[in-house]
Amino acid sequence: MHTREVQMTDDLPDITFELPFPRFVAEVCAWLSTCDDEDPVNYALFSFVRALKGHKAMKGCSAEDAYEKVLALHLRDPEEIVVPGTVIDEEDAEVAFHLMWERVRFPMGTDPVEVACGLAGQGLLRTRKARPGRYPTFLTVAALLQLQRREQPILLPARKLAARMKCQPVTISSWTGWAIDDGVLVKTKAHVFRSTGGSKAAEYVFGLHMWPRESLERLAGLLGLATRAANLTWIRQQFEDADEPPRGGGG
């Protein structure tokens, strides 16, 4: 059988989603136990549920069914199967698990570009300078990608975005350039082309820290995430390290 490996968000190690479910859950719990996050309970549970939803054993499961499967594994091996910051067999944990199961709409392994394009709608963000076309939608896609990547650069693949947004790649490139000119996007690594293979895409950071808190919370809510101070601090530092100072976003 071909083994499908999916790179989880936040630079997690590859975890094989074709592992037997008990072993898969144990590996996810082991990784979560090493995470250092400012909101460990909510982030661990969010990541745990996203991982569960990415495994074939959870396909079509309700929150109740999923919880019963995890609880059974926990009771069999309480030292290994545990989400950091929670006690899996307490009432509060069960309620939290059900709530998170309902909130998480995109399992791990879902393409982040597809997620962002699917949620961006007509666009929630604008810069001070009016631009033609679906520029606000592009900005919103970039913001959603940055929220998913947290303290890591994003990719803005012109062909993939063009296919999802039903436009030409040159239009994506134009919107990217405008976002840089408007000071809400910085390029942190240039595209590297190698004719022999191994080309590397350009990397960017989107200026989430420039937008009102209400806008960020609305975007994060689409993903089932919460905004993080550490994320915004990291982004601000990337802009400070860039050659051109940011000029600010809109509403």
Query: With the C-alpha atoms ordered 110, 111, 113, 117, is the resulting torsion angle positive or negative?
Result: negative
pLDDT in tens, 158-176: 999 999 999 999 999 999 9
pLDDT in tens, 23-50: 999 999 888 887 655 555 567 888 889 8
- Asked, for residue 248, whether it belongs to a domain, the answer is no
- Asked, for residue 27, whether it belongs to a domain, the answer is yes
Instruction: Say if residue 69 is in the same domain as residue 20.
Output: yes
pLDDT in tens, 87-108: 666 788 889 899 889 888 778 8
Instruction: Say if residue 152 is in the same domain as residue 97.
Output: no
Q: Which has more confidence, 195 or 115?
A: 115
Given a contact cutoff of 8 angstroms between Cβ atoms, the answer to whether 215 and 124 are in contact is yes
Of the residues 103, 122, 140, the one at which a domain ends: 103
pLDDT value at position 32? 82
For residue 11, pLDDT beyond 50: no
Instruction: Say if residue 71 is in the same domain as residue 123.
Output: no
Instruction: Say if residue 89 is in the same domain as residue 121.
Output: no
Instruction: Say if residue 216 is in the same domain as residue 193.
Output: yes
For the chain, the 3-state helix, strand and coil shares in percent, each to the nearest 5, are 50, 5, 40
pLDDT value at position 161? 96
The three-state (H, E, C) secondary structure of 127-154, written as one string: CCCCCCCCHHHHHHHHHHHHHHHCCCCE
For the record, the structure tokens of 245 come out as 């100072």
Q: Domain residues for 207?
A: 112-241
For residue 2, pLDDT beyond 50: no
Instruction: Report the amino acid identity of residue 147.
Output: L
Instruction: Say if residue 237 is in the same domain as residue 126.
Output: yes
- Asked, for residue 168, whether it belongs to a domain, the answer is yes
Instruction: Say if residue 51 is in the same domain as residue 84.
Output: yes
Instruction: Say if residue 139 is in the same domain as residue 195.
Output: yes
Instruction: Say if residue 117 is in the same domain as residue 230.
Output: yes
Of the residues 103, 122, 150, the one at which a domain ends: 103
Instruction: Say if residue 134 is in the same domain as residue 33.
Output: no
pLDDT in tens, 128-159: 999 999 999 999 999 999 998 888 899 999 99
- Asked, for residue 118, whether it belongs to a domain, the answer is yes
**Domain count within the chain:** 2
Q: Is the pTM of this model over 0.85?
A: no
pLDDT in tens, 185-240: 999 998 765 556 555 789 999 999 999 999 999 998 888 777 778 889 999 999 99
For residue 6, pLDDT beyond 50: no
Residues 6+ positions from 73 with CB-CB distance below 8 Å: 22, 25, 26, 81
Buried/exposed 131-144: b ≥16 CB within 10 Å, e otherwise: beebbbbbbbbbbb
- DSSP 3-state assignment of 228? coil
Instruction: Report the amino acid identity of residue 42.
Output: N
